[in-house]
Structure 1
Amino acid sequence: MLDKQGNGASTDNRDNDCAHNTVERGQQRFKTYYEEQELVDEEEWNHFWNTLFVPLPACFWISQSHPSSTRMSALCKQLEAYFSSVEEVDSIKSSIPYPLKWFPNELAWCLNISRQVLKRDEKLSKLHDFIVEQNSSGVINRQEAVSMLPPVLLQVQPGDKVLDMCAAPGSKTAQLLDMLGAKNYSAAERQVCTIRLSKDIVDIHESLVVANDSNLKRCWMLIHQLKRFSCPYIVITNHEAQKFPVGMRFNRILCDVPCSGDGTLRKSPDLWKRWYADTGMNLHPLQLAILLRGCDLLETGGKLVYSTCSLNPVENEAVVAEVLRRRSTQISLINVDNLLSNLKFRRGLTSWKVKNNAEEFGFFTCYEEVPLHRRKKIPPSLFPKDDLKDLGIDKCIRILPHDQDTGGFFIAMFEKVSRDTQDTWQKLRFDKEKAYMKTRRISRLISDDPFERLSTVNISLLKTIAYFYGLDEELLSNHLMTRTSDAGRVRRIYYLSEQVKSIVENSVGNLDRLTTDDDNEKYPYRVVHGGIRCFEAVDCKYQVECPYRIVFEGAPLIALRMSKRLEYVEDEEVWNFLLHVKDVIKIAEIPFINLRTSLEQTSPGSVIFCFTNESTKDYLTAWLGPSMLSIFVTTEDIRLLQSHISRNYISLTDMLNNDE
């Protein structure tokens, strides 16, 4: 019996038997295929095979840009020490947390227990609740260990232009933004920013992160996933990755392509039902096209990471080898050994076979064995060639599940060593013009809403906002934009960095302004979202000088530049009171005299409360009426803010004590 997983009860035994047989057949196909590939030595096959039926340990990384990251790291180390000291062999003893040594600064941790057991075990219920709470508040991010590798390898720095070609669901993009955020805003810079409110701090960096996905619904999901980073240099685009516009070049590209996903079988055992070798073969052309386009988008000296959660060599080594052949003078593989110390991995394969789907257990060893009538669907790029060692394919790394208790993964890292050749550039130019003309033909079917400068749409509104909040008008005129659909009556206003503006001003919605002239590399992007939302219109029944409130996600950015309507809170008790205000409170009922007096002397409109202590700098957006105070923050964001202050940070004793 191949299936190590128990099947759930069913009221219809025939359905249960059918599902069981489907799983078993998938397992037999997988076993036959990878035994033929000699993926592992014969003596370790059983270890590899049995590991596939053991659930993955629960893993997470700590957000280094989060105010509570230091305390979270300390707590993880306390948990490690506590669990190690437990003498009895039970769920506590078996779930000892351990840091991933290859992750920078030991900010990634695993529990030696699956997420399912963590959720169900009564002795670990407090720990499970704690992890869920910290994940919702952004202190930690739950993610499979090997999936954290590509952003680590990219080593992004402030000023980098980063493209995530296949970004959804966004965990890797979040990791990239967190790395940039932590490096851009060090403790010293935060202290400087609290003192300086001038236009000198408009852009501490010229970073750019483009998160792209081919599915529009997943793009909207990305917006929700990434908004907590309050980042003005993020753009979310909607393109097929292999057809991403070729004008702008990036110096960091993440190419985590769609794949068969059989490296995730420990996490998703349902994949057994639909595992076929030809899934990888069918995805090979798409993966090849995406990686080729990624290489073309890379600037000289830039780095690109290609990754899959597949074990199949036709999706991994075969793709990398073919791209190296086609871009032989422009790109090269990088040895990443020194970047991943303490990680167990294998070298890239130099031989494999291609499945012959006409025979249940048949394989092709070379392209010449493929019948002529089948060569259209079985290209030569699927097969290994004699040049693999010369191409340096051993610089690729593949992670196998049984080596370090992880999922399966494949990574190759490239560097652009020279500019595009004339032939490549002519091809790119042709692609650009073809894509431009195609976009013109379908533009009426696209609901892209282009950005317009607020200074162009409504200059008087810009002046009103600048005066009301004590902001630099010149700064706002350069960075505030709104969507065209809001031009009649501006509803939402966004803050965009210079790099983001260069993309959104060349979006599909601005087709009439773009050309394909050789001297002008403008071309259309499908921009779903750009920058960070900062202001939003409010409908008031009473007179207010500026009927635009500051949005919570944009508060950290705007507050650093405000000289008016910013209330500083130093007392944790006052801050905790504000966080527990239920929507609306009468100003006269506020029990703190200084706060009540300050609000009574402030005119109606939006205000920001700023709370600062040794480890936290947080903002709370509110609306001040003639006699009422309304908190304009979602329940989810309130929980995030509550998690930052020490009295709400769960103790080790509370976490492990399940007694009521």
Structure 2
Amino acid sequence: MSSVKRSRSRALVRARKRSRQASVRDDATTQGERAGAWTSTASHRTPDAPSTSTAIALPRTSAPWFSRTLDARRETAFERYYKHQGIVSENEWETFLKSLRTPLPVTFRMNRMKSRREDVREALSAAKEFLENARELRDDRGRVISPPTRLPWCDGWQLGTDKITLKFTRDNPTLRAIQRWLVKYNNTGVLTRQAVDSMVPAAILQVQSHHRVLDMCASPGSKTTQALEALNMDAVDGIVSGCVVANDINPVRCYYLVRRCAALGNATANLMVTTHQAQWYPNVNVPLETEAPVESGGRYPEGSYDRIICDVPCSGDGTLRKNPQIWSEWRPEFAMGLHKLQLRIAQRGAALLKVGGYMVYSTCSFNPVENEAVVAELIKRCGGALEIVDASDRVPELLRRPGVSKWTVMTMAEENVVEYPTYEDSQSESVPIGLKRKFAKSMWPPVIQGGGSRMGALGKRIKSTSSIPLERCMRLVPHLQDMGGFFAVLLKKIAPIPGPKATGSPTEKVDKTYNRQPPNHVYAKVSSELIDRLANEFGLDAGFKKTIAPNLFARSSKDRSIVYIADGVKKHCIESRGAERMKCVWSGVKIWERSERDDFYMLTQDGMHMIKSHISRRKIELPRSELKVVLETLGREVRLEQLSRESRKVISAFSPGSLVVSLKGGNEGLALPIVVNYTANGALKLIWRFRKGLEQAPKAKIRALLSGLE
């Protein structure tokens, strides 16, 4: 491309950006004018405008939206709304705002799985000087960086600096080193970078190895990995009886979720990733066919999961510290537009939960309309089937505030707060029809009279209670523990959800995207002929055919890749009576993948470690010097002529395919053996598959092996 064309392209990009920004400003102005047209005639209370606040100091960032600035002379809609909402007391309001105006510190948690304990020890040892013996540090602007803080309840750490300062530091070698350390061990699954507040749902669920866990809205996957690690905490070779099912409505985000979880290695044998609308998530106890008989539970069949993470889509204003554009974009209507969806997702989660099981409902929002209002309505609609659990003893070190029992439903008009004392006020003639539709009766605080009973939504008489203990909910506010804003509540299902009696056919609704057709993403058992072929080639013993072979699946009739899926996932997501209803995206540990070029099945590195105790053929030993040559030529061929005569003789006796390679004389505590492919043109080639973004994992393992061979 010529320099003239490049200049023209850059000018067009700049012009488009200016046009988009102007459009955003025009839309905002138009909405304000429309709101002003009805504010003066509305029958609602419009509180006096609060006094002007100090300027908002936004953190440094390289994000493209940072060109949008705030008027320092005016309070933002966020400040006006939440000051009237009273989510914190007046005497701590300025402290609350000051905390929100500072960048969020970097936090991470260490992997708790038994199989990674040695890696964790190595990682902590490498960072010991910074984490435990940190001296006073300063960033590039001369600001003091406080020492790291230990978070024992999640086995995590909180650093004294934000991600932008850490990523772009130039003058401080210690900060550069800790940034490289974080990248290295995050990519290898030894640690996970995750906000403190985001760690709460999985922590208070207390997942155990036999639990079936559902993460209803899982992307980007930090909570899923946390649950998967808890499931496999004491597992050997990633084999447990439970499973984790991670769901997201967007298939693209599902594959990002797959990448996050792939860093955990063989633990993914217990994971299934699905793509559904969370509010229509299928119950595997109900078959796909309409003719099948329904369970005695009627409208709500028996639940399928012991633990559910219900972290619903929300307005996200609790993430202001890492997403400062929210200051200028925030409107209370965002929360109102999500309330009904949040309630539907929470109801679906309650229906999928087993009696005696626990569900965490959570958002990264301060708004009671998205939080306590949803919880209160959920409790009422479930007719005594759910109770709020006081989870304070599960994370005693975590500072939090109780949930609120009183709040006000409000909107903004011409930068003023407009209150709606009752639902009827929101439906008056002075309110625009578009705004009326955003309101729901469930947004207002519950008013339940003590004693007696009331008629439920499904026609069943429900015993009324004096109050719903919303104070048991957790509200995390930034200034208490230098974190983001978050809301979480632990719910226990103590009885089946009441509903109409059973009929001759299932009454449960299904995902509208099915159109009554089975999903395309289906795992099929590998044929016995292929298993016999692989067993003969690698000398796999009877134990393999008994324990591993029944759990081998393929995604296509061509058997291009063969994966191992643990019993927990197999029974729940593949063999259960309603498994056809699940849209499976990805699961398991890949054991073999077919090489189209050389027409043999390549054994993967992770797969080899899962079946190595059963292998008796295609095993060789190389001397130290030759093994180093193979490791140093990752992805490139090593001609047999480069090896000793003895090694050439042993290798050439095999047909092309995968070889299990150990160190001659013993592996000396190294992470050996490894898989090396013997190609059709007479060479050795080390192939170490990885997903995009996880390049550091094989490189780190190879560096560790080379270091041990020195």
Cα shift at 1:58: 1.0
Aligned partner of 1:216 in structure 2 is 251
Aligned partner of 1:339 in structure 2 is 394
| 1:261-306 Cα deviation digits (max 9, x unpaired) | 1111101112223200110111111111111100110011111111
Q: Does 1:638 align with 2:680?
A: no
Distance 1:630 1:145, change over 3 A: same
**How many equivalent pairs are there?**
597
Q: Does 1:4 align with 2:73?
A: no
Cα shift at 1:38: 0.8
| 1:139-188 Cα deviation digits (max 9, x unpaired) | 22111111111111121111211101001111111111222223213xxx
Q: Does 1:79 align with 2:130?
A: yes
Cα shift at 1:92: 9.6
Q: Does 1:277 align with 2:329?
A: no
Q: Does 1:287 align with 2:342?
A: yes
- The letter of the residue matching 1:641 is K
Greater CA radius of gyration, 1 or 2?
2
Alignment of 1:242-641 (within 5 A): 242-248=279-285, 249-357=304-412, 360-372=416-428, 376-387=437-448, 390-423=467-500, 429-432=506-509, 434-435=510-511, 439-440=514-515, 448-455=520-527, 459-471=528-540, 472-483=544-555, 486-487=556-557, 489-505=558-574, 521=578, 524-540=581-597, 547-566=600-619, 577-586=629-638, 588=640, 599-600=651-652, 602-609=654-661, 617=671, 620-625=674-679, 627-634=682-689, 635-641=695-701
Aligned partner of 2:13 in structure 1 is none
The 3-state SS of whatever aligns with 2:368 is coil
| 1:342-400 Cα deviation digits (max 9, x unpaired) | 21100001111111356732112333432356654311110112459822111110100
Distance 1:427 1:394 in 2: 42
CA contact (8 A) 1:59 1:110 kept: yes
Q: Does 1:62 align with 2:131?
A: no
The 3-state SS of whatever aligns with 2:283 is coil
Cα shift at 1:28: 1.3
Cα shift at 1:616: 6.5
Aligned partner of 1:129 in structure 2 is 180
CA contact (8 A) 1:62 1:72 kept: no
TM-score by length of 2: 0.76
CA contact (8 A) 2:209 2:230 kept: no
CA contact (8 A) 2:184 2:696 kept: no
Indicate the larger mover: 554-563 or 376-385: 554-563
The 3-state SS of whatever aligns with 1:182 is coil
Distance 2:61 2:589 in 1: 46
Distance 1:424 1:215, change over 3 A: farther
Cα shift at 1:126: 2.0
Distance 1:473 1:8, change over 3 A: closer
- The letter of the residue matching 1:462 is I
Identity %: 29
Distance 1:428 1:263 in 2: 44
- The letter of the residue matching 1:419 is P
**Unmatched segments (≥5 aa) in structure 2:** 1-53, 286-303, 449-464, 690-694
The 3-state SS of whatever aligns with 2:569 is helix
Cα shift at 1:602: 4.4
Distance 1:309 1:32 in 2: 19
| 1:289-327 Cα deviation digits (max 9, x unpaired) | 111100110011111111111111111111111111111
Distance 2:151 2:66 in 1: 39
Distance 1:160 1:132 in 2: 31
Distance 1:87 1:410, change over 3 A: closer
**Unmatched segments (≥5 aa) in structure 1:** 191-202, 508-519, 649-660
CA contact (8 A) 1:262 1:408 kept: yes
Cα shift at 1:5: 1.9
Cα shift at 1:575: 6.2
The 3-state SS of whatever aligns with 1:311 is coil
Aligned partner of 2:454 in structure 1 is none
Distance 1:593 1:238, change over 3 A: same
Indicate the larger mover: 576-585 or 79-88: 79-88
Distance 2:505 2:348 in 1: 9
CA contact (8 A) 2:202 2:227 kept: yes
The 3-state SS of whatever aligns with 1:430 is coil
Aligned partner of 1:97 in structure 2 is 148
Distance 2:200 2:66 in 1: 38
Cα shift at 1:523: 5.1
CA contact (8 A) 2:564 2:589 kept: yes
Aligned partner of 1:655 in structure 2 is none
Distance 1:72 1:491 in 2: 36
Distance 2:221 2:165 in 1: 26
- The letter of the residue matching 2:588 is G
- The letter of the residue matching 2:101 is F
Q: Does 1:114 align with 2:174?
A: no
Distance 1:23 1:531 in 2: 53
